Structure 1
């Protein structure tokens, strides 16, 4: 998503991430950073930038992820599920968001991270991350009552024309309504950063596979929805059943993923007739398109975009593309509506 930081406003392109809280960008001087195409944000060039002190309440909201620098300013260190990380200064500055009525909205004293040491799986077209999680320092929490706990996004598929940015809305514009909308409850669990949903089962064509623990009632909030994770991750045993069901309905020769990340792959040139995958959340059946359930890794290879993991179960962004996904943290629900995100 596109935002601007500082005064005068400096544009940055960042990844909208519902699985983390902090809004950070790479900053000058960058001691050890990944390569980005856009210029780096220079805190010295912003008249409204200020480092946050160690004794401030803003610093204490970071908990164990904050530490005190020698000059008594607050530093942060954050690590992501894919082992990417960012380290730098906790600061406050003015954030400018584009608006539907074309007049930009300025938000003063937004807590940000000024990253001086960042590495991992970051795209060189992006300068950082906008954390949209449920924690205290996330942009959603900082916007507070002004957005009434509501935001939505529509993720443009990777196969679309390259320069199309995905749209994000806050407040009344974020309400997802109309034909085809389904909603599922948001479950409050720890850590508060994550948005937990309840996945009851997954259908492969007409074959329904039940998520572990559904009958024993231990499954409430068994999966998080995360716009910053690519694949959908499921418990290993459950994933094996899912993969077996998908493979049994595809008449094509299996191929190997040379990276060894995905286990169900086929030749991209084969005329794949894949079964329809439906995610059965509590109260909401979300029917996936082929581009949600399979990802093209190269000109030769297409793979099932789910994998087994016994850590956290995650509903990743490939599964969410071409859906208008609305979060309402006041009514405690997430809504899905099929959409052509490139046209929005």
Structure 2
């Protein structure tokens, strides 16, 4: 009888270990929403010229560092961060959220050059310390998983700790992160009273360079939501714990938050389009752009070619970037449908911003926009998805164009990218199992329904 009880107990344990976990929801925080001059702190007057310049500089650094390297974003130039729990006993860490990269990595003790303070209010930086977790294990460099997990440094061994699987990631701005791959427990809170956990591989970063040394908007690390085997969503899906799906709902910098969920989504009425296959980023095929229901761009601008691999959906960029000549055609249609003439206002850096001095309700007077994607999918956009309210030095305000021209060069052709201004106020679903990307207008202050 005692033997039977032991067998039953063992079966219960095995069944518990093979159960799936609920879709995991994390709160997002916009890194710049707290700053003076942001929409959240402008008293309805619009963003300050300084805040506008900061966001555009953010995008320039991100695009320079990110896309030429095919999937490595600069930690300092993402928009949203969240909190994750790792180790035993559990410790909380603030990490940059990036749909354009793959690896989860943390500043890891000992790291004498990692930042110890940050300009983000309410955050205390913490280095992951393997000696303080009873469940951590360094991945050996001879382990078969090292080639998959090391991300750019397969099979290389570290000196300290000896024989560990090394990783190295370089960014376009010259910043680097390196260290070794470790395995530890990530803990999820399924409800107020229930927790679940899983083992994951991540980077223990012991040497950072460049912008990763700065305290400005610093966090503890980065969590990538890309499609590679090392990404947290892929690891959890490969263990059979959740579906290979994640979704986010961004509130932009007006409120400064949102949610991201790992796992299957149950919300009905989502519109889907196929992902462009074989891409590092989440690319989809845009076919045309409509203004007030009329197609206004040359569809050949968006044809999938060796140099044009579709539209990049990037939650880490602020604005939208449209390839030529589609940009000029789009802007001309908006100008034609606007209730007042446009003005070219100096941006203070030798350029100008296209704006409209208007005090009415833009939702009912400026044109609506339609994005037509492969498979008949349509994304409907309001004026707030292409305009932002700008405070002028005169004390007045104007609505300015939040889409920019992406001209490119012969060696680096232009591309179309939709950032936070387009993706905000929508539930955006990345279904890696079926290789489709979907969206639906959604109240991003509400939880995302998942299973």
Mark yes or no: TM-score above 0.5.
yes
Structure 2: distance between partners of 1:343 and 1:216: 36
Of 404, 426, 446, the residue aligned with 1:307 is 404
CA 1:112/1:334 → structure 2, altered by over 3 Å: closer, same or farther? same
Structure 2: distance between partners of 1:4 and 1:15: 14
Q: SS of the counterpart of 2:241? A: helix
User: For residue 331 of structure 1, what is the aligned residue in structure 2?
Assistant: 434
User: For residue 239 of structure 1, what is the aligned residue in structure 2?
Assistant: 327
**8 Å Cα contact 1:200/1:214 also seen in 2:** yes
Structure 2: distance between partners of 1:290 and 1:83: 37
Of 143, 150, 154, the residue aligned with 2:245 is 150
Greater alpha carbon shift after TM alignment, 218-227 vs 242-251: 218-227
CA 1:88/1:219 → structure 2, altered by over 3 Å: closer, same or farther? closer
Structure 1: distance between partners of 2:93 and 2:358: 38
Q: SS of the counterpart of 1:60? A: helix
User: For residue 198 of structure 1, what is the aligned residue in structure 2?
Assistant: 285
Q: SS of the counterpart of 1:135? A: coil
Q: SS of the counterpart of 2:254? A: coil
Structure 2: distance between partners of 1:131 and 1:30: 21
User: For residue 318 of structure 1, what is the aligned residue in structure 2?
Assistant: 421
Greater alpha carbon shift after TM alignment, 286-295 vs 113-122: 113-122
User: For residue 135 of structure 1, what is the aligned residue in structure 2?
Assistant: 228
CA 1:306/1:216 → structure 2, altered by over 3 Å: closer, same or farther? closer
**8 Å Cα contact 1:15/1:228 also seen in 2:** no
Q: Which has the higher helix share?
A: 2
Of 271, 284, 287, the residue aligned with 1:182 is 271
Residues 1:212 and 2:307 aligned together: no
Give the Å deviation of 1:336: 0.6
Give the Å deviation of 1:328: 1.6
Greater alpha carbon shift after TM alignment, 19-28 vs 308-317: 308-317
Q: SS of the counterpart of 1:243? A: helix
Give the Å deviation of 1:326: 1.3
Residues 1:42 and 2:123 aligned together: no
Structure 2: distance between partners of 1:263 and 1:175: 44
Give the Å deviation of 1:59: 2.7
Gap runs ≥5 in structure 2: 1-81, 407-412
**8 Å Cα contact 1:247/1:264 also seen in 2:** no
Q: SS of the counterpart of 1:342? A: coil
CA 1:215/1:73 → structure 2, altered by over 3 Å: closer, same or farther? closer
Give the Å deviation of 1:40: 1.4
Gap runs ≥5 in structure 1: none
Taking structure 2 as the reference length, what is the TM-score of the superposition? 0.65
Give the Å deviation of 1:53: 2.6
Taking structure 1 as the reference length, what is the TM-score of the superposition? 0.82
CA 1:240/1:26 → structure 2, altered by over 3 Å: closer, same or farther? farther
User: For residue 230 of structure 1, what is the aligned residue in structure 2?
Assistant: 318
Structure 2: distance between partners of 1:9 and 1:339: 33
CA 1:130/1:55 → structure 2, altered by over 3 Å: closer, same or farther? same
Please provide the CA RMSD for this pair: 3.2
**8 Å Cα contact 1:3/1:11 also seen in 2:** yes
Give the Å deviation of 1:23: 0.9
Residues 1:276 and 2:368 aligned together: yes
Give the Å deviation of 1:245: 3.0
Give the Å deviation of 1:302: 5.2
**8 Å Cα contact 1:14/1:129 also seen in 2:** yes
User: For residue 208 of structure 2, what is the aligned residue in structure 1?
Assistant: 117
**8 Å Cα contact 1:14/1:128 also seen in 2:** yes
Structure 1: distance between partners of 2:244 and 2:259: 18
